[in-house]
Structures are given as C-alpha cells and as structure tokens.
A and B are shown apart, each in its own frame.
Chain A
Amino acid sequence: MSLVNQFRSEPSRPVLVGPSALVRQAQQRKQRQQWLIYGSRLLLVVGVLLFWQFASGTILDSSFLSNPLAILRQTITWLSDGDPWYESTLIINTAVTLEETLLGLFFGVASGLLLGFLFGLQPTLERIFNPFIIALNSIPKIALAPLFILWLGIEIPMKVVLAAVTVFFLIFLNTLNGVRNVDQHLVDAVRLMGGRQRDVIFKVILPSATGSVLTGLHVAIPYALIGAIVAEQIGANHGIGYLIQSSGESFNAAGIFAALLVLTLIAGLLNAIVNLIDRKTSHWKAGLKLSSADQS
C-alpha cells in the first residue's frame, strides 16, 4: 500500500445539511423582507390613489389630473361600448397597437439579428459600414415618420416600419457586440474538437451572444411601443396613441390616463415574456453579487 493512496480522495463534496436552524432563520428573514417589500408597494399604491381621489377637485385640478374613479368609469365605458363586446373602443384600439408593436418587434428583431450576426462574423463588412450605421442610428427615428407616411400612408404598415426601425438598431448593435465579445479561447476549443464553422456558430457564438441579444430585446420593447404610439399620434384613426391624442383634443384627462394604463399593461406583458426567455436561457450564469447581502 503506497503512501500516495492515503492522499487519494474524492474531490471534496459540498456538504448538504437538512433544514438546520440556520437555514430556517435565513428563510424566515427572507420571508419577512418579502412581506415588507410587497406591503410597502401596496401601501404606496393605495396611498397615492386615495390622495389623488380625495385631493381631486380641492387641491388638484381634476380637469388636468382627473381622478382614479373617473379613470375607472372611462375604462368601463370604453370596454362596454362594443357590440359584440370585443368591438369596444378599448379592445379594438389595444389590438391595433399590439399588432403594430408585435409586427415591429418581429421585423426589427429578425433584421437586427441577421445583420448583427453577419457583421459580427465578417469584421471587414462591419468596418466598411460602421460610420454609416452610426450616422443612421443617431437620427431620432421619430423624425423619419413623415417620410414613412409619404411612402406608406397612415395605415398599419407605416407604424410597423417606424417601430421596426427603432427596434432594429437596438437589436443589431447588441447582437454585434455579443458576437464580437465571444471568447476566442472557446472558439479555439471547438476547432480543437474538430468543429467546423457551423459548429463554432451554433455551439459557441450563438449561446454566448444570447445574453447580449436579450438585453437588446428588453430595451427594444418600450421603443417598439414608442414607435407605434408616436406613429399613431402623428397620423391615424386607430390605436392607443390615437385614443390618447383624441382624448387630449377633447380635454378628456380621464381618457388619457385610461389609455396610459393600457399601455403600461402591454409593456409589462411583453417584458414578462422576455423575462421568461431570459430565465430559460441564463440559468448557467453566476449572477452578479455586489455585496455579501445579495447571497442567497
């Protein structure tokens, strides 16, 4: 029996202890903190709504700021003026805006991904086009709206294009950045395994750029909405943007707020979807911990 065999050991395994007192304590602390946070949020919302409601008509001018009950009434009116129900004002206009936003996101994301990967993989191409892309990107996209109206009229395609153009640059730049930051050592590793260009793209570049693309997507969602809404406000007779515009013109503050509420809901929904994708694809990440208190 050699001495070395005494050294032979399995790599030390993490010791798993059942729900010890320490673990329970930490869980309780976490739970309390959760309640505190949710409770504070609820309190904040209720407080603001109550203040808003009771101050309206006294310290706050309700013709400018409306009030929660008026907004609720307006929302119900807009929801119930349809026959059949799904042709009510709110639903029709929400559907139009959602359609424009989703189509804009789709075309913007697809073209941004495609060109981002192409330019990322072909650095020479990227270097030729770089100054032009920067120049185009620095144009406020809204300023392009009259041009799109000229080309496409004021129907849905114009709004889709405006939203898509905004989204395109965000996705394109993030994808390009993601592809450029791929670790050369990982690419070499695949080459050593006998991998071809295709393996490098699908097994290294794509997964490694995913995080960056998703960041782009998160930023792009509000911009897709902005694109669609602004386009509707400039020229349209449908959509949430149009609803806001026409409410404003008829001094209907409650209408503006009701429409804004719907916008917030749409944005929240889209973000939740991206969060879901994010969680599905980034479970391998360590997660940034800035202080020891973040460890959980």
Chain B
Amino acid sequence: MSTVIHIEQISKSFIRNDREIVVLHNVNLEIESGSFVVLAGPSGCGKTTLLNIVAGLLPPDSGTVYYKGVPISGPRLEVGYLTQKDTLMPWRTVERNVEMPLEIRGIAASERRRRAAEFIRLVGLEGFEKLYPHELSGGMLRRASLARMLVTLPETLLMDEPFGALDAQLRLELQNELLSLWSRQRSSVLFVTHDLEEAIILGDRVVVLGTGGHIIADEPIALPRPRDAFHIRFRPEFTNLHRRLWDALMESRLQVQRQEVRL
C-alpha cells in the first residue's frame, strides 16, 4: 500500500508571554492510503496543532508534510477537515452552508442544491435545511458540519474530535455511519479523539501521543471488519487493546503533567 500522508520531522512552537512553548518536536508519522488512523492523547499534547499543519492551515517551524509525495504548502481540495470547533457561517442556513464548498468550486446552483440535499439526508438533517446554525442543537451542528465536509467527496478526511460533544447513543449512531461511509468510499482517515473506545471501534491503527507529539504507542487494531460500533466492545481482544492503550495514555498524561509542572 502507498503512503497518503507522510509527516516528516515536524516541529512547531508557539510563543506565549515571551516564552517558547514547544508543542510538536520532530514528529514522524505515515498514514497508509485507505487506512483509518486514530490519534489519541491527553488534552494539550498537540493533536489539533498537528492536524492544522497536515491540513495546510498552519505552517510548521521545520519539517515537511507530504501528501502523496508532494510537500503541503496550503489547504488541498482533496482533503476534508472537520475542525474541533464548528465553523458554519452563522448567516447561512444549513442548506446554504452545505452548498458553500461547492459554490466556491464554481458548481452550478441546481447541481449544488441536489448534492447538498443528498448529504443533508445522509446525516439525517432533512427538514432542517432552512434553519440557521443558532437554531440547531450541538449534535445537529456537528452533523451539518459533517455534511459540509463530505459534500465535496474528499479522498482524505481529517477529523478532530468530531463526536466529542454528543450523547452516547448519537455517537454510536454516527460512528456506524462513518464506518459504513468509509467502507464504501475507502477514503483515508486521520481521526483525533480522547475516547479510547471510539479509537478502537473505528481505527485500523491507534497512535497515542505524549508531550511534544512524541509517539508513545502505535497499536494495530486487528479487529475484523465490518465492525459494529455497539457490539465490538464485547470481544475479548477489545478489552486487551483497551487496557494496553489505557496504560499508554496514562503514561502520556503523566508526561504532560510533568511538563506542565516544569513550565
């Protein structure tokens, strides 16, 4: 299999109150084409920063991200990025928000409407097309953002805690939705979450990050597919994986805390 994203020696610092905060230090990671890779790690370890760099929103201080062998210098049309924060335009209805990426690509209005309607249906928001973001619940906002990302049929998806704020049932439902979508389209996914269960349910591979984006664990998830987000947790392998990753996450958390004490 070929590599779709190659993260090579990425470093990134922020300057806050005249002090340099090293968020990522020489991070290396390869994402196989068509695979589902989950990034887990404690809050503040640099997951969002890494995704922003991969998406081409944020330039790294050093190192290079290659997309199919080409160094990334800005956002790429074939990559969809669902950011941690909802970024629907508050002055556009759900429908017009989902149409927006197509509008920017210069696609004709009738075609735009047809495709937006299709994806609004996919995420279960039919009947809510004419509502403005402030009229939606948190879960509906996430669904609308998801539809907006998917409407351009990106071949690679970057997702930053997409289901973090949802209730358990809705989360299961969307996880299944994502799994079936992924198995149909075989896109490559880089998915960030805090939730180890979610990581194991979805991923081909779970990477646990520690301070500076240092990789603490990189576990292949050999569970059979297609998976069912609800039932898979009862398999014995699931429990073992969960325990191993949990230990890695605890270690990483301790690292982060030690670093915060030093700061």
Q: Is B105 an interface residue (CB 8 A)?
A: yes
* Nearest CB of chain A from residue B244's CB, rounded to whole Å: 26
Q: Is B112 an interface residue (CB 8 A)?
A: no
Per-residue contact bits, chain B 215-257, to A (CB 8 Å; 1 contact, 0 not):
0000000000000111100000000000000000000000000
Residues of B within 8 A of A199 (CB): 104
* Nearest CB of chain B from residue A234's CB, rounded to whole Å: 43
Residues of A within 8 A of B101 (CB): 193-194
**Contact with B230, one of A7, A190, A208 (Cβ below 8 angstroms):** A7
Q: Using a CB–CB distance below 8 Å, which chain B residues touch chain A?
A: 55, 57, 74-75, 77, 80-81, 83, 85, 87, 89-92, 100-101, 103-105, 124-125, 127-128, 132-134, 137, 139-140, 143, 152, 169-170, 172-173, 176, 228-231
**Is B124 touching A2 in the complex (CB atoms < 8 A)?**
no
CB-contacts of A3-23 with B (<8 A): 3-4, 7-11, 13
Please give 12 more A-B residue pairs, beta carbons under 8 A apart, in addition to A4-B230, A11-B125, A186-B87. A2-B230, A4-B229, A7-B169, A11-B139, A185-B83, A190-B100, A191-B74, A192-B75, A194-B75, A194-B104, A203-B100, A283-B132
A194-B101, A195-B104 known; A8+B173 contact, CB < 8 A = yes
**Is A185 touching B85 in the complex (CB atoms < 8 A)?**
yes
Residues of A within 8 A of B231 (CB): 2-4
Q: Using a CB–CB distance below 8 Å, which chain A residues touch chain B?
A: 2-4, 7-11, 13, 183, 185-186, 188-195, 199, 203-204, 207-208, 283-286
Residues of B within 8 A of A284 (CB): 90-92, 132-134
A11-B143, A189-B83, A203-B100 known; A4+B228 contact, CB < 8 A = yes
By beta carbon, the residue of chain B nearest A281 is: B91
Residues of A within 8 A of B57 (CB): 188, 191-192
* Nearest CB of chain A from residue B106's CB, rounded to whole Å: 10
**Is A286 touching B143 in the complex (CB atoms < 8 A)?**
no
By beta carbon, the residue of chain A nearest B133 is: A284
A2-B231, A285-B134 known; A188+B91 contact, CB < 8 A = no
* Nearest CB of chain A from residue B151's CB, rounded to whole Å: 10
Residues of A within 8 A of B103 (CB): 203
**Is B104 touching A190 in the complex (CB atoms < 8 A)?**
yes
**Contact with A193, one of B85, B100, B127 (Cβ below 8 angstroms):** B100
**Contact with A208, one of B74, B91, B173, B176 (Cβ below 8 angstroms):** B91
**Contact with B105, one of A7, A13, A192, A194 (Cβ below 8 angstroms):** A194
**Is A10 touching B91 in the complex (CB atoms < 8 A)?**
no
**Is A191 touching B75 in the complex (CB atoms < 8 A)?**
yes
User: Bound complex: CA of A199 vs CA of B106, how far in Å?
Assistant: 11
**Is A192 touching B230 in the complex (CB atoms < 8 A)?**
no
User: Bound complex: CA of A208 vs CA of B75, how far in Å?
Assistant: 23
**Contact with A11, one of B81, B124, B172, B230 (Cβ below 8 angstroms):** B124
Q: Across the A-B interface, give the 8 residue pairs with the lowest CB-CB distance, nearest first.
A: A189-B87, A193-B101, A286-B134, A4-B230, A284-B91, A284-B132, A207-B91, A185-B87
**Contact with A207, one of B55, B75, B89, B124 (Cβ below 8 angstroms):** B89
**Is A3 touching B230 in the complex (CB atoms < 8 A)?**
yes
A3-B231, A4-B176, A193-B101 known; A204+B89 contact, CB < 8 A = yes
**Is B77 touching A194 in the complex (CB atoms < 8 A)?**
yes
**Is B89 touching A192 in the complex (CB atoms < 8 A)?**
no
Residues of B within 8 A of A3 (CB): 230-231
* Nearest CB of chain B from residue A116's CB, rounded to whole Å: 19
**Contact with B104, one of A7, A193, A207 (Cβ below 8 angstroms):** A193
Residues of A within 8 A of B170 (CB): 11
**Is A203 touching B89 in the complex (CB atoms < 8 A)?**
yes
User: Bound complex: CA of A186 vs CA of B83, how far in Å?
Assistant: 11
* Most central of A3, A7, A11, A192 by chain B CB within 10 Å: A192
Residues of A within 8 A of B75 (CB): 191-194
**Is B87 touching A9 in the complex (CB atoms < 8 A)?**
no
User: Bound complex: CA of A189 vs CA of B149, how far in Å?
Assistant: 10
User: Bound complex: CA of A208 vs CA of B80, how far in Å?
Assistant: 24
User: Bound complex: CA of A3 vs CA of B229, how far in Å?
Assistant: 10
* Nearest CB of chain B from residue A185's CB, rounded to whole Å: 5
By beta carbon, the residue of chain A nearest B139 is: A11
User: Bound complex: CA of A192 vs CA of B55, how far in Å?
Assistant: 8
User: Bound complex: CA of A193 vs CA of B103, how far in Å?
Assistant: 10
Residues of A within 8 A of B176 (CB): 4
User: Bound complex: CA of A159 vs CA of B152, how far in Å?
Assistant: 55
By beta carbon, the residue of chain B nearest A186 is: B87
Residues of B within 8 A of A194 (CB): 75, 77, 101, 104-105
User: Bound complex: CA of A285 vs CA of B89, how far in Å?
Assistant: 11
By beta carbon, the residue of chain A nearest B103 is: A203
Residues of B within 8 A of A185 (CB): 83, 85, 87
* Nearest CB of chain B from residue A83's CB, rounded to whole Å: 52
Residues of A within 8 A of B139 (CB): 11
Residues of A within 8 A of B105 (CB): 193-194
